Amino acid sequence: MPEEEPSGLPRRVVLGGVGAAVAVSAVSPIARAADAVAPPGPARESDFTTGWRFVLANPDGITDPTGRYDRAPDPAFDDSAWQVVDVPHDWSIELPPTPVGTNSGSGFFRGGLGWYRKTFTLPPSFAGKHVSVEFDGVYSDAHVYLNGELLGNHPYAYTGFAFDLTGRLHAGGRPNVLAVRATNPLPSSRWYSGGGIFRRVRLVVTEAVHVARHGTFVTTPDIAAGRGTVRVATDVVNEGAAVTAEVRTTVTDPAGRVVANGSVAVAVPSGRTVTAVSGLRVERPQLWSVGAPRLYRLRTDVVVAGRVLDTTTTDFGFRYTEFHPDNGFSLNGVPMKLRGVNLHASQGALGAVIDPAALEHQMRLMLAMGVNALRTAHNPPDPQLVTVCERLGIVMMVEAFDCWRTGKLEYDYHRDFDEWSGRDIAEMVHAAKNSPAVVLWSIGNEVPDASMAGGPEIAAGLIAAVRAIDGTRPVVMGSDRYRGVPAPGSPQDLILKQLDGLGVNYNTAQSIDGLHQQYPGKFFFESESSSATSTRGVYQEPDLLNTGENHTPGKRATSSYDNNLASWTFSGEYSLKKDRDRKFCQGQFLWAGQDYLGEPTPYDVFPVKTSFFGAVDSAGLPKDAFHLFRSQWTTAPMVHLTPMDWTNHRPGEPVAVWVYSTVDTVELVLSGKSLGVKKFDRKTTVDGRLYLETTEPAGDDKNDPSGSYVSPNGSTGKLHLTWTVPFRPGTLTAIARSGAREVARDELVTAGPPHAITLAAEHPGGGVVPGAMTFVTASVVDARGVVVPGAGPVLRFGVRGPGRIAGVDNGRQELAQSYQQPVIPAFNGLAVAVVAATGGRGPITVTASAPGLAPGQLTLPGSSLGQPHGPGARAAGTPVVPGASTADASYSGAPDTLPAAMLDGNPATGWSNHYVKPATATLNAVSRPRARDWVSLAWPSAQRISAVTANFVVDGTLTLPVAAEVAYRTARGFEPVPNLRITWGTGSDDPTTFAFDPVGTTEVRVTMTARGFLRISALLAR
């Protein structure tokens, strides 16, 4: 009997599979001729993603107060005015970001209520066939209708589902209408989720006897003993008369050669599902590993009375893993650390749209950093991501939920947990159970129930649901509730005793040691590590281990010297050392591999809409953190200079130059003159693993008596080499040598004025990722081809040929504009356009232009892949370029001391550089005056001025500057005002006057040197 929904309508979720191929062309509204589905072919399923009709019924709520779409499921409803879209589709990313009715968690993008409709006809040959529609994911609470009848609903966005259409479809050329209602109530996610049918859809047609959906499970139980045993369990569904079916299985090796086959006969009664189990033997199997991801393929044929009724294929691999509580993780008997990253499901400028080429581009970026593992934070992945990881050799921790019964947000999964969690976690396991890439199942992330009385019972149910399907992989969770050793009998203690292992989020070295000692039979790893924040190309106070934030509008960014930390986080270097030194620690998953929309810590203000945690930015451009982890996670010779800017410095300014390298000896050279050779010391962990590190106090762990993190072998140090270099223009080069031989170099060249735009489509791993999406990087360069750091002209991208701009991004976290358009300002000299093929013939020519610059051009090969109505198809070219601020500052220490407060006429408000950075688990609180800061006034047109008056507030914390300079803007840049005369105020809030000979300008700037913090309550030019 079908399950009854509360409404009394049957929920006809397909548990069995379906087969035979169909082809679907673009769809027209019901008022026009419906598209014909092709007759069955040799394959059992076909793409069902093109030609949908979509309407955003309400972007600000999940109801339709107008009633206009009450009849949207009705086949007679007129959808001719709706947009034509291809799915996967995300309506939220197509909307402009707004602070109204949204929040920073959603990246200031709206959610709402959307409707999709697809109209199609079936050929007569479909008579008697079993037909279903399968969705890989819909955000969220999908209600699916066929010809006006509700088939059922599926609340969770990140698990797939299917509905049986058999017996409900019109034949004989009569149109069928599939309608989908989707909602995204805000807040429903702690990060950007998108909205709509954001994963694939397919129509599946089979005979009555067929392999069930997710009905094949392949295991290799004896591979650790050197035997190539393949165990295949096949669920065969019979929706017709009783039969005896022969299940034939054939295994082909990575080269496509048949290496094993077999068959088993099973009686399948009418209306039943029977599991056929067969065993095969493969001689000398080639193992799947991170370095050599060799995949085998299983073909399954269901044969009745000599006729093949269904055929499926399943990729799998021979590999075995061990998570040892003392010795760590090993793959095929080879010890290795999990060098992992956390990634959310969004894809930068594409939003939540899943595209296989975009996924591969992202994962190849991670590979170039040395990544070998991925945690799907914090939801089940799209099946295409699993496929990418198994092809590239990346092991996976697949995760189910971000909450259980107790929610974190008003509209998150807690509302559906009790009814749906068992089915959803089973779907997660079924969808990925055959992949050799998947090595861990996670039942949740930082769930509040983990420290509540009902938590152990919930965990027991989820663990049992996983193990009922797959007992070959460990079951874990990621948690922030174990930063101390749990009390015996506490919920944390009872849950950990049920799990095979535990991922800890942001534990100190001391706390993870305590857990290992208390639970010697459990394995531990860091499911989230570091979370240091950074902005590509932004640098601040390298001598501080934790810097304050700059709250000045337009300058909300964080330092890339691995030194901006939230209260719960650690520097990348601390996290790397802590993991490196503990053999028992299986490894770590960096939070995060890439910046993502939403969670813009440490800022919570529009238009800061992107996180700062990534090793690469949201556009896929590497930050310095990428190279830090690369220096520790790869072995090939490399060297990297931080800062990635040898242009924007004052003459003589001392610049802290950090060098990351896999080589122990590095020489720094400025325009041919050596600045000295520095070396890492060669060290060995207590269990004999070699590593490179300096030997100096790092000052990065207040919990140790020395004040620095100390390795179990007694050593301390840093993972970078440091020079202090007085700036002068030229070429700064880091040369890494092994012996006397140069093996790697990195070079920075002082850039001249912007001259041209260049385009490239390569990523750090080399080559262009093939597929329907190509990521094209635009660089603003000078006349010699040097990227101009700090350059920010508005770039306009264009496409000729069978392609379009699917989205644009520049990696800047503070950005008010939409990503779904062809124009964007460059950020620190760079921007990225995602070019989508539309499936036509011929080359795709991409251009980028900006006023006053020579345009760039790049030709890409055309692709038979692609969609005409995918991401970016409905974009408008409307960049949002911030206007000049009337008052500005180099640095504002708090959200309520911004430059505009100097102009509001209220002496109780004002600008200040004062900040207090709270303590972290390893660092003390810090509040240290900055040596230099400036404030400025600007006007739309030139003003003639001869003085600036500033009212400085003075108290026990706030002081007068010890020196000041005044400059005014000219065509050549800022120049000192003539004949500056300063009259200092004598008391708090007294005016200090900076007088000078009259100048005509659009902006005047006061630069102050101070020994204490500054505050200006009023700033006036006259």
In DSSP notation, 662-696 reads SSSEEEEEETTEEEEEEEPEEEE-TTS-EEEE--S
* Alpha-carbon span 233 to 1012, nearest angstrom: 72
Residue 744 predicted with pLDDT over 60: yes
The Cα 812–Cα 880 span in angstroms is: 13
User: Above 60 in pLDDT, residue 908?
Assistant: yes
Number of neighbours of residue 851 by Cβ within 10 angstroms: 7
Neighbouring residues of 657: CB distance < 8 A, sequence distance ≥ 6: 641, 642, 643, 668, 722, 723, 724, 725, 732
Burial of 493 (0-12, 13-18, 19+ CB in 10 A): middle
pLDDT recorded at residue 6? 32
Q: What per-residue confidence (pLDDT) applies to 29?
A: 29
Q: Say which residue, 305 or 4, is predicted with more confidence.
A: 305
What HEC string does 272-288 produce? CEEEEEEEEECCCCCEE
pTM of the model: 0.93
Give me the pLDDT at residue 225, please: 84
Predicted pLDDT at 768: 60
Contact 893, 913 (CB under 8 A): yes
Q: Are 505 and 479 in contact (CB under 8 A)?
A: yes
Contact 44, 204 (CB under 8 A): yes
For the chain, what is the radius of gyration of the CA atoms? 30
pLDDT one-digit tens code per residue, 654-701: 999 999 999 999 999 999 999 999 999 999 999 999 999 999 999 999
In this prediction, residue 731 carries a pLDDT of 98
**DSSP alpha helix (H) spans, 277-399:** 356-368, 383-392
The residues that bridge with 46 in the sheet, in sequence order, are 203
Confidence of residue 44 (pLDDT cuts 50, 70, 90): confident
Count of helix runs (H) and strand runs (E) in the chain? 8, 56
Mean pLDDT across the stretch 521-548?
A: 97
What pLDDT does 43 receive? 61
97-145, pLDDT tens digit by residue?
A: 999 999 999 999 999 999 999 999 988 878 889 999 999 999 999 999 9
* Options 45, 134, 427, 446, the catalytic residue: 446
CA atoms within 13 A on the CB side of 315: 20
- Gap between the Cα atoms of 162 and 318, Å rounded: 30
pLDDT at 496: 98
Question: Hey, is 492 helix, strand or coil?
Answer: helix
Is 446 among the residues known to form the active site?
yes
**Pairwise CA distance, residues 908 & 888, whole Å:** 19
CA dihedral sign, ordered 596, 598, 604, 605: positive
CA–chain centroid gap for 976, Å, is 45
What mean pLDDT comes out for the span 315-342? 97
Amino acid at 602: P
pLDDT classification of 841: cutoffs 50, 70, 90: confident
Pick from 792, 791, 824: which is nearest to 805 by CA?
A: 824
3-class DSSP state of 432:
helix
Looking at residues 986-1015, what average pLDDT do you find? Answer: 95
Q: Is 814 a catalytic residue?
A: no
pLDDT at 764: 62
Residues 952-966: tens digit of each pLDDT:
999 999 999 999 999
Q: Is 250 helix (H, G, I), strand (E, B) or coil?
A: strand
Q: What is the pLDDT of residue 881?
A: 62
Average pLDDT, integer, range 995-1019 = 96
Residue 254 has pLDDT above 90, yes or no: yes
Examine the pLDDT at 11 and tell me if it is beyond 70. Answer: no
Q: What is the pLDDT of residue 970?
A: 94
Residue 46 has pLDDT above 90, yes or no: no
Predicted confidence (pLDDT) at residue 837 exceeds the cutoff of 70? yes
Query: At 532, phi and psi to the nearest 5?
Result: -60, 145
Q: Is 937 helix (H, G, I), strand (E, B) or coil?
A: strand
Residue 17 has pLDDT above 50, yes or no: no
Whether residue 759 has pLDDT greater than 70:
yes
594: left (phi over 0), alpha (psi -120 to 50) or beta: beta
Average pLDDT of span 973-991: 94
Q: Give the E-state strand segments of 680-802 in sequence order.
A: 681-684, 690-693, 721-726, 731-738, 741-749, 756-760, 773-781, 794-800
β-sheet bridge partners, residue 121: 36
Give, to the nearest 10 degrees, the angle between helix 383-392 and helix 417-432. 30
337 touches 594 (CB < 8 A): no
Q: What angle do CA 322, 685, 530 make, to 5 degrees?
A: 75
Cβ atoms of residues 478 and 503 within 8 Å: yes
One-letter amino acid for residue 666 of the chain: V
Instruction: Calculate the average pLDDT of the chain.
Output: 93
**Which strand (E) or helix (H) includes residue 908?**
none
Q: What is the pLDDT of residue 24?
A: 26
> In the chain, what's the furthest Cα-to-Cα distance?
104
Contact predicate 341/592, CB 8 Å:
yes
Question: What confidence score (pLDDT) does residue 16 get?
Answer: 27
- Of all residues in the chain, what percent carry a pLDDT higher than 90? 89
The C-alpha atoms of residue 664 and residue 694 are separated, in whole angstroms, by 10
pLDDT tens for 186-237 read: 999 999 999 999 999 999 999 999 999 999 999 999 998 888 999 999 999 9
Of 69, 18, 76, nearest in space to 48 by CA:
18
User: Choosing from 360, 399, 528, 1003, which is the catalytic residue?
Assistant: 528
The rounded distance, in Å, linking the Cα atoms of 659 and 628 is 9
Give residues with Cβ within 8 angstroms of 358, minimum separation 6: 347, 350, 771, 773, 775, 834
Question: Is the predicted pLDDT of residue 887 greater than 50, yes or no?
Answer: yes
Cβ(614)–Cβ(629) below 8 Å: no
Mean pLDDT of 236-263: 96
Task: Report the distance separating Cα 716 and Cα 909, nearest Å.
Answer: 45
Q: Is the peptide bond before 592 cis (omega within 30 degrees of 0)?
A: yes
Alpha helix segments (H runs only) across 533-657: 572-580, 624-633
Please, what's the b/e burial string for 496-532 (b: 16 or more CB within 10 A of its CB; e: otherwise)?
beebbbbbbbbbbbebbbbbbeebeebbbbbbbbbbb
Query: In this structure, what is the dihedral angle of CA atoms 753, 757, 760, 761, given to the nearest 10 degrees?
Result: 120
Flag whether pLDDT at 283 surpasses 80. Answer: yes
* Residue carrying the six token digits 């699993």: 386
Q: Which are the contacts of 457, defined by CB distance < 8 A and separation ≥ 6? A: none
pLDDT at site 875: 73
How many residues does this entry show for the chain?
Answer: 1022
The answer to whether the peptide bond before residue 378 is cis (omega within 30 degrees of 0) is yes
Whether the CA torsion 247, 251, 257, 262 is positive or negative: it is: negative
